[in-house]
A and B are shown apart, each in its own frame.
Chain A
């Protein structure tokens, strides 16, 4: 009985957090590469664990690809790979990282990795010149890195505290 309650709670939580992730991205789509996606994925990775975060990312990527009509190998695959790198690394090699400043610095690495995934896909499928692509994309990479850095730096500490309090109230994920 307790186990099934946890499963239901997980499903509701995943649906709710995935919708927050998707909606914020659409609301901020008027600004180029400025969003809270990296902040939220870092937060989810730290608070609700690897598997739940992977499911949220899967839902988000599918929804985003269908909503923007970009469901193809060219966009969907690099987007998914670029985003799942965050929870995987934060639950393995960077598991002990808790400082918001270090997490903000890591977000720059995530932004570069995310952009490189698109570079690989564009070079393989569209056979674009990788150097030309990197030069053209560099401004957007910097913007993505800077916006992720800023949002994690400022919003991660209060959101992390809030998340911990909310999860502990439900007595689920108490260890986190």
Chain B
């Protein structure tokens, strides 16, 4: 009986120690993944060559507020081009990158009933504005859209 108790006790202890080792090892792997992912998210996408893109600002009623064809050079980003070539530009820094809040007289209201949505070559952009890699002859539309 004593032998059985001793065996079970030791087995329980070793399982406990194994559990701690496993938890620590898994936690370390998770921390490495988190650091790697944050590093990827915070990196910005610069142009890899020189070229020309069109950036247009479209109002909620589909009328054109402003349209500009811009020559860019290697390393420039879309946010840089918008800040340099457009008026009243305000970027709000969020954890997911910069959020375009105002441009060419339009300011996103505090209740976000309308906001600025980014389309690349007529397709809704699934990445944030700082993640859009500019390529030659790309058309970027910044559209005022309703949140409802």
The total of chain B residues at the interface (CB under 8 A) is 25
On whether the beta carbons of A143 and B26 are closer than 8 Å, the reply is no
On whether the beta carbons of B38 and A150 are closer than 8 Å, the reply is no
Partner of B38, one of A32, A137, A154: A32
Which of A31, A135, A146 is the most central at the interface, judged by chain B CB atoms within 10 Å of its CB? A146
Total CB contacts across the A-B interface at under 8 A: 69
Given contacts A32-B96, A129-B123, A132-B126, contact A101 B22 (CB under 8 A): yes
Interface stretch of the complex, out of B28-36, B68-76, B81-89: B28-36
Task: Decide yes or no whether B95 CB sits under 8 A from chain A.
Answer: yes
A137 to B131, CA, bound (A): 12
Task: Decide yes or no whether A169 CB sits under 8 A from chain B.
Answer: no
On whether the beta carbons of A146 and B112 are closer than 8 Å, the reply is no
Partner of A101, one of B26, B38, B127: B26
Interface of B is mostly: helix
Task: Decide yes or no whether B60 CB sits under 8 A from chain A.
Answer: no
Which residues of B does A touch, CB under 8 Å?
19, 22-23, 26-27, 30-31, 33-34, 37-38, 40-41, 95-96, 110-112, 123-124, 126-127, 131, 147-148
21 interchain pairs, CB-CB under 8 A: A30-B95, A69-B112, A70-B112, A101-B19, A126-B124, A127-B124, A128-B126, A135-B126, A136-B127, A136-B131, A140-B37, A140-B96, A143-B33, A143-B34, A143-B41, A146-B34, A147-B30, A147-B34, A149-B26, A149-B30, A154-B27
Top 5 A-B pairs, shortest CB-CB distance: A69-B112, A150-B30, A143-B37, A136-B126, A146-B33
